Amino acid sequence: MSSTAYASRRVVLGDLVSTSVVGSAALVVSGAALIGVLAQVAIPLPFTPVPLTGQTLGVLLVAAALGRWRGIAATALYGLAGIAGVPWFSGGASGWKITTFGYIIGFVAAAAVAGGLAERGWDRRPLRALSAMVLANAVILACGTIWLAGALQVSMVRAIELGVLPFLIGDLVKIMLAAGLLPSAWWLVNRVTGRR
């Protein structure tokens, strides 16, 4: 990345690893793989078709660490590979005809939010990181709820009862974890490298 490109936006954590095309591609594939691995951390809930998973934590971390475009690419790769048959959606599912596919669409939109805010430095301070993660998570829940309502042929109120309310506490934990990890990573980078 040229110095003028750096001047137009702040560096994200992924830029410290690589800004080359090959390096960025490796970061995107690694980001998609991390989301796929965390999707396997799934706890089925008997009162909803939506499981509690680690996917959203992966999306928040990957998007903020890689920035907007690489975050979008990583979440899109995760979704497209799953559509193509890679069994790495929650519970080993694949394909787009699953009840929870709206959340996967939401991952891409959330990556734009979290990654874009990280490029503005929102990943460097806990309160700003928390705000960025809350906004990105809200995008995931909105997309997931709309798809869920259509897939189950239920009202939006019922979709919220099934796809949002049971996950608020778990999402808050994941948001707080991501909002703590990112500023901590920047603190460590600054200590090691003397960056400001």
Question: Phi/psi zone of residue 45: left (φ > 0), alpha (ψ -120 to 50 degrees), beta?
Answer: beta
Q: What percent of the chain has a predicted confidence (pLDDT) above 70? A: 94
Exposure class string for 39-77: b at 16+ Cβ within 10 A, else e: beebeeeeebebbbbbbbbbbbbbbbbbbbebbbbbbbb
Residue-level pLDDT at 91: 86
Count of CA atoms in the C-beta half-sphere (13 A) of 187: 8
* Sequential DSSP letters for 87-153: --BGGGB-SS-STTHHHHHHHHHHHHHHHHHHHTTTTSSHHHHHHHHHHHHHHHHHHHHHHHHHHHT
pTM attached to this predicted model? 0.90
pLDDT in tens, 110-124: 999 999 999 999 999
pLDDT in tens, 70-127: 999 999 999 999 999 999 999 889 999 999 999 999 999 999 999 999 999 999 999 9
pLDDT in tens, 23-54: 999 999 999 999 999 999 999 999 999 999 99
Query: What is the rounded average pLDDT of the residues 160-178?
Result: 95
What confidence category does residue 191 fall into, taking pLDDT thresholds of 50, 70 and 90?
confident
7 has a pLDDT exceeding 80: no
138 has a pLDDT exceeding 60: yes
